[in-house]
Structure 1
Amino acid sequence: MKKIWYTYDDIHHVIQQLAAKIEASGQQFDAMVAIGGGGFIPARILRSFLNIPIYTVTLAYYDANDKPTDSPQKIQWIEGIAANLQGKNILVVDEVDDSRVTLEYCLNELAQAGISQLGVAVLHEKLKAKKGTLPANLPYFSGITVEDWWINYPWDALDLAAHNSEAANGNHHSEINKKALRR
């Protein structure tokens, strides 16, 4: 599978553009629910632009060998807090819309907790068939649309200098960033 690398600067710039898309939509959100681990950092950066609080959940769809499991599992959930979110517009944030299974699971669980006004924001949306589905008319925002490549995020790097070197050595698709910013 083809691999691409993004730097923290890339991520910050794309999230700034993502925030502009959300604001331009006219859709108002009262809070975010970040899906961990990948959605934590994008949600935190997005908070700088949208100025709304972040709640977190952690779901695991992939095992230790990066293989998908039968269904997502709750690792951390917002039991009790969900009652405080009822009647509010909540933006669910994740780093990538890949199979869409985790997003679908999270949205369904939030809906079962009584939160019905939801939207989704992802840093990357992969161009591929999705296993999961999203509700019709759900506000959906993505920063960059990419092919079905393996995305290497800087927060997953053990050696940030090596990670940034990969991005600088042509394993970074800046043309995709330019296309995303023209949208």
Structure 2
Amino acid sequence: MSDLYVSWDEYHAKIEGLAAQIYRSQWEFDQILCLARGGLRIGDILSRIFDKPLAILSTSSYGGKNFQERGDLKIAHSITMTTDTLGKRILLVDDLVDSGVTLAQILEWLKQHPEFAITEVRSAVLWFKACSIAKPDYYIDFLSDNPWIHQPFEKYEKINPSDL
């Protein structure tokens, strides 16, 4: 597997490019639902650009050495949001679609919660890998060689408070 290293400047430029792509599509959405941890920074920035409320759903599927071992997807019991209800037209945001399992399972999870009354969900990521079983609606880079992506904040996974 190859490696792709991303700087903070590249990371932010990709988020801005994603925002432009969504804007050009002229799709109107009510709320952004980001998947934490990977989609948290992206969701925050898109929420500010589009002036839409942000909701957060915590998920986890990676662990082990350097957080590079994929395991079972864990989904939080509830969505954190400051609105009374989740919007009807949701922009689902994550950092990448790797295997596609998270995207597929979250879309199914949302369908299993009729209390949300969602009428449409579109997904947005920075990176879409060829090995994925699911295709996002919006993405910046299609990665045919399925590299491991080293994002700029990964250095914090190796720092302890005593190191600061």
TM over 0.5: yes
Distance in 1 of aligned mates of 2:85 and 2:48: 22
Distance in 2 of aligned mates of 1:99 and 1:82: 31
Distance in 1 of aligned mates of 2:70 and 2:12: 28
The answer for the alignment partner of 1:99 in structure 2 is 99
Q: Is 1:37 aligned to 2:37, yes or no?
A: yes
Question: Match of 2:142, as an amino acid?
Answer: T
Moved over 6 A (4+): 79-83
C-alpha offsets along residues 64-122 of structure 1, whole Å, 9 cap, x if unaligned?
343222x4112453179897125x21011000111010111111111211223101000
The answer for the alignment partner of 1:9 in structure 2 is 9
Superposed displacement of residue 44, structure 1:
1.3
- For the 8 Å contact 2:55–2:80, the answer to whether it is kept is no
Shift of the 24–79 alpha-carbon distance from structure 1 to 2, 3 Å rule, reads closer
C-alpha offsets along residues 3-35 of structure 1, whole Å, 9 cap, x if unaligned?
111111111111111111111111111111110
Distance in 2 of aligned mates of 1:80 and 1:145: 31
1:85 match: secondary structure: coil
Distance in 2 of aligned mates of 1:7 and 1:76: 33
Q: Which consecutive residues of structure 2, in runs of 5 or more, have no partner in the other structure?
A: 158-164
Distance in 2 of aligned mates of 1:103 and 1:82: 23
Distance in 2 of aligned mates of 1:141 and 1:79: 24
Distance in 2 of aligned mates of 1:90 and 1:5: 30
Q: Which consecutive residues of structure 1, in runs of 5 or more, have no partner in the other structure?
A: 160-183
1:156 match: secondary structure: helix
Q: TM-score, normalised by structure 1?
A: 0.73
- For the 8 Å contact 2:18–2:140, the answer to whether it is kept is yes
The answer for the alignment partner of 2:69 in structure 1 is 67
Question: Match of 2:37, as an amino acid?
Answer: G
**Among 110, 121, 126, which residue is 1:123 paired with?**
126
The answer for the alignment partner of 1:78 in structure 2 is 79
The answer for the alignment partner of 2:154 in structure 1 is 156
- For the 8 Å contact 1:83–1:113, the answer to whether it is kept is no
- For the 8 Å contact 1:42–1:94, the answer to whether it is kept is yes
The answer for the alignment partner of 1:53 in structure 2 is 53
How many residue pairs get aligned? The number is 151
- For the 8 Å contact 2:56–2:80, the answer to whether it is kept is no
Distance in 1 of aligned mates of 2:95 and 2:150: 11
Q: TM-score, normalised by structure 2?
A: 0.81
